[in-house]
């Protein structure tokens, strides 16, 4: 895609992107789930959706190219799957571990958000054989 077409897609999605000058990767927002390169079992988590949400469209090319990012989007916009599906891909790429050994850690600032994130991860992970455990408590 041309730079103008990429910017037009971002404008259509309502996405603003601030990129360090050192970043030279292709950060074109995705138009379709198939463009992400997720495995079939990970893509099964998206079966109920027509197309990626704006945060997913832009975040997956960034995260899957190995870059760090901060994504800001409204509640219910698909942020959990925006970071969750790349995490699942990373988990599935690892060597198998013994039961009970963690492979990925996701931190949340509140119990409610931790539980909500765990529910999304449980559903997505079930499609590809990855289990999720939610742990929360308070500091003493």
Question: What would the pLDDT profile of 24-69 be if each residue is shown by its tens digit?
Answer: 567 889 999 999 999 999 999 888 899 999 999 999 999 988 888 8
At residue 100 the predicted structure's pLDDT band, cuts being 50, 70 and 90, is: confident
CB–CB of 80/120 below 8 Å?
yes
Domain 3-97 sits in which CATH superfamily? P-loop containing nucleotide triphosphate hydrolases (3.40.50.300)
pLDDT of 91 above 90? yes
Please state the length of the chain. Answer: 140
Query: What Cα–Cα distance (Å) separates residue 91 from each residue in 88, 120, 127, 130?
Result: 5, 16, 13, 8
Report the candidate in 23, 85, 26 with the shortest Cα–Cα distance to residue 55.
85
CB–CB of 6/29 below 8 Å?
yes
39: number of Cβ within 10 Å = 13
């Amino acid at each position: 895609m041309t730079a103008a077409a990429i910017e037009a897609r971002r404008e259509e999605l309502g996405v603003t992107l601030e990129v360090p000058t050192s970043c030279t990767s292709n950060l074109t927002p995705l138009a379709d789930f198939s463009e992400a390169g997720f495995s079939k079992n990970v893509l099964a988590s998206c079966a109920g959706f027509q197309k990626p949400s704006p945060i997913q469209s832009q975040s997956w090319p960034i995260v899957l190219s190995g870059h760090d990012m901060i994504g800001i989007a409204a509640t219910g916009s698909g942020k959990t799957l925006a970071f969750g599906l790349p995490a699942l891909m990373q988990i599935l790429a690892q060597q198998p571990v013994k039961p009970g050994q963690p492979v990925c850690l996701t931190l949340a600032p509140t119990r409610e958000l931790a539980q909500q994130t765990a529910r999304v991860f449980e559903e997505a992970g079930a499609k590809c054989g990855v289990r999720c455990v939610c742990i929360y408590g308070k500091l003493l």
